[in-house]
Chains A and B, each alone.
Chain A
């Protein structure tokens, strides 16, 4: 096993363990911490692929800004330990089916795209920041700006709703 492959498996295992722990933890803060672990592990995977910029942005935006907000809100609301109810059979049976279907779908997609992944750009080819900015601000400028606009509208809407409640 080459060192990059070993690092990949370590990071992937960390991400999966974090994701499972996110669901199983009883306290909201512990769940949020698990989610941070997942985010950082995924950033590590990006770094392994040579996408340094994406890795850094992943940690800054998801690991830093968004998760800090999560943690802060949980702290502010002083959320306690969750109560665990027994698994309802109504939700359990379709859920299990859905899990099987999803795993099958992902596995099929991975299996089909195996050849195209082989020919994908080599490590480090994704890294130059100028390439990313060219893509965002030249090739895909309209979708990008539209998305930003959508987010802006969502922020304004949230502010509006919060204000109305106060009045």
Chain B
């Protein structure tokens, strides 16, 4: 038994990592819906979910149960095979793309095996290209869902989405060329390493400064690729009922939802990795006191949650919130107490913070910006984003020719 385990250690570790990442991503997705509803509600001067659990924290659980137990009718006249394939495809591709993201530079040593954070091997030479390949296939989920439903509105939504995704994919791909030129590699780890060459520069060494045009194009195109507001034309409620997923119910609908949120997370990861230094700290390396920042954030936040729990109206909240708060504060205390662990979590901490900021920006934009009109969308993609990203490539290449990559 142990011999088999030892011989296939790599395989077993990878499977465990996949299961873990799946679990984490699904949980984060669930709470992302809660976060989105809360933030949008506060932008609109409402409270958002508040009844199910303290601060509506159990709302995602209720939603999940509801999705699972709703009736799942198959409309008449659908193309059965494609109708079932589409949500599977959307979800599988979204999940696969997140497997390529590395979450930290250093491996953990367990039983003599180096375990890297992230599923793909750290020396994956085509990192960013693989991600684009998966994104390129992602359009089929939406387009096929729209077509196979055999209904007018989904078909329109599917058509819109395929046209939109083809148009913006060009700008998306062109906009990262500048970053690739600066790093000289497709490998996500090396792209981050190239931004940390001058450890004393801190956030001044990130790609966002030389590549501000590229970042603008990338972020806009990426939002369009994920079909999020203000580019959510494929599911524009006021025009298309619900767009491509009108005919889907129950868990098949949830699968589209999970796919959308997962690709939001992937795009946030990519933005942080390519333009904001990934897991690099924004402070110069000599400022060692910044290593205590995770604890300095977690402990007061935990204390605040505990305090909030004691004054909460319901008994349930009085019980649950202090437990959650203690967990946060305890985690912060643990990092303070164990310097080795503290050093290790620095990189993931900064990456996750950046991802969180981008997720907030996503929700913020949904709460504030109105939807594009279809012709505006096309004009914006082809007449502004694509030329600007091409200009960015040319300018970057000339700058590198003249001064070298930094």
Q: Which residues of A contact B (CB under 8 A)?
A: 27, 29-30, 33, 36, 40, 43, 52-53, 55-57, 59-60, 63-65, 68-69, 71-72, 75-76, 127-129
Per the bound structure, the CA–CA distance linking A30 and B140 in Å amounts to: 12
Task: Given A72-B143, A75-B162, decide whether A56 and B169 contact each other with a Cβ distance below 8 A.
Answer: no
Asked if B129 and A56 make an inter-chain contact with CB atoms under 8 angstroms apart, the answer reads yes
Task: Given A52-B126, A56-B130, A60-B133, decide whether A65 and B169 contact each other with a Cβ distance below 8 A.
Answer: yes
* 14 contacting pairs across A/B (C-beta < 8 A): A30-B81, A33-B82, A43-B133, A52-B125, A59-B133, A59-B137, A60-B173, A65-B166, A71-B162, A72-B143, A72-B162, A72-B163, A75-B146, A128-B125
Q: Least Cβ distance of B10 to chain A in Å?
A: 12
B residues near A127, Cβ cutoff 8 Å: 125
A residues near B136, Cβ cutoff 8 Å: 59-60, 63-65, 68
Per the bound structure, the CA–CA distance linking A127 and B135 in Å amounts to: 22
Least CB separation from A63: chain B residue: B137
Task: Given A52-B126, A69-B166, A129-B186, decide whether A75 and B143 contact each other with a Cβ distance below 8 A.
Answer: yes
Asked if B129 and A68 make an inter-chain contact with CB atoms under 8 angstroms apart, the answer reads no
Task: Given A60-B132, A64-B169, A69-B166, decide whether A129 and B144 contact each other with a Cβ distance below 8 A.
Answer: no
Least CB separation from A62: chain B residue: B136
B residues near A29, Cβ cutoff 8 Å: 79, 82, 144, 147
Q: Which residues of B contact A (CB under 8 A)?
A: 79, 81-82, 85, 125-126, 129-130, 132-137, 139-140, 143-144, 146-147, 155, 158-159, 162-163, 165-166, 169, 173, 186
Least CB separation from B134: chain A residue: A59
Task: Given A63-B137, A64-B137, A72-B162, decide whether A53 and B129 contact each other with a Cβ distance below 8 A.
Answer: yes
Asked if A56 and B79 make an inter-chain contact with CB atoms under 8 angstroms apart, the answer reads no
Asked if B129 and A57 make an inter-chain contact with CB atoms under 8 angstroms apart, the answer reads yes
Least CB separation from A127: chain B residue: B125
Per the bound structure, the CA–CA distance linking A144 and B110 in Å amounts to: 50
Add 20 more A-B contacts to A52-B125, A71-B140 (CB < 8 A): A27-B79, A29-B79, A29-B144, A52-B130, A53-B186, A56-B126, A56-B132, A59-B134, A59-B136, A59-B137, A60-B129, A64-B136, A64-B139, A68-B140, A68-B143, A68-B166, A71-B144, A75-B158, A129-B125, A129-B186
Asked if B165 and A68 make an inter-chain contact with CB atoms under 8 angstroms apart, the answer reads yes
Asked if B147 and A75 make an inter-chain contact with CB atoms under 8 angstroms apart, the answer reads yes
B162 CB contact (under 8 Å) in A53, A56, A68: A68
A residues near B134, Cβ cutoff 8 Å: 59
* Cross-chain pair count, CB within 8 angstroms: 81
Per the bound structure, the CA–CA distance linking A29 and B78 in Å amounts to: 13
Q: Which 3 A-B pairs have the closest CB atoms?
A: A64-B136, A56-B129, A59-B133
Task: Given A29-B147, A53-B129, A68-B143, decide whether A75 and B137 contact each other with a Cβ distance below 8 A.
Answer: no
Q: Least Cβ distance of B145 to chain A in Å?
A: 11
B residues near A56, Cβ cutoff 8 Å: 126, 129-130, 132-133
Asked if B143 and A71 make an inter-chain contact with CB atoms under 8 angstroms apart, the answer reads yes
Least CB separation from B129: chain A residue: A56
Q: Least Cβ distance of A115 to chain B in Å?
A: 30
Asked if A53 and B169 make an inter-chain contact with CB atoms under 8 angstroms apart, the answer reads no
Per the bound structure, the CA–CA distance linking A29 and B83 in Å amounts to: 12
Per the bound structure, the CA–CA distance linking A64 and B166 in Å amounts to: 9
Q: Least Cβ distance of A81 to chain B in Å?
A: 10
Asked if A76 and B159 make an inter-chain contact with CB atoms under 8 angstroms apart, the answer reads yes
Per the bound structure, the CA–CA distance linking A162 and B144 in Å amounts to: 27
Per the bound structure, the CA–CA distance linking A36 and B137 in Å amounts to: 9
Asked if B133 and A64 make an inter-chain contact with CB atoms under 8 angstroms apart, the answer reads yes
Least CB separation from A64: chain B residue: B136
Per the bound structure, the CA–CA distance linking A75 and B133 in Å amounts to: 23
A residues near B139, Cβ cutoff 8 Å: 64, 68
Asked if B140 and A36 make an inter-chain contact with CB atoms under 8 angstroms apart, the answer reads yes
Per the bound structure, the CA–CA distance linking A55 and B130 in Å amounts to: 9
A residues near B159, Cβ cutoff 8 Å: 72, 75-76
Per the bound structure, the CA–CA distance linking A30 and B143 in Å amounts to: 13
Per the bound structure, the CA–CA distance linking A68 and B138 in Å amounts to: 10
Per the bound structure, the CA–CA distance linking A36 and B138 in Å amounts to: 12
Per the bound structure, the CA–CA distance linking A53 and B139 in Å amounts to: 21
Most-contacted residue by chain B among A53, A59, A68 (CB, 10 A): A68
Q: Least Cβ distance of B317 to chain A in Å?
A: 48
Per the bound structure, the CA–CA distance linking A95 and B82 in Å amounts to: 32
Q: Least Cβ distance of A51 to chain B in Å?
A: 10
Least CB separation from A3: chain B residue: B11
Least CB separation from B143: chain A residue: A71
Per the bound structure, the CA–CA distance linking A63 and B139 in Å amounts to: 11
Least CB separation from A36: chain B residue: B140
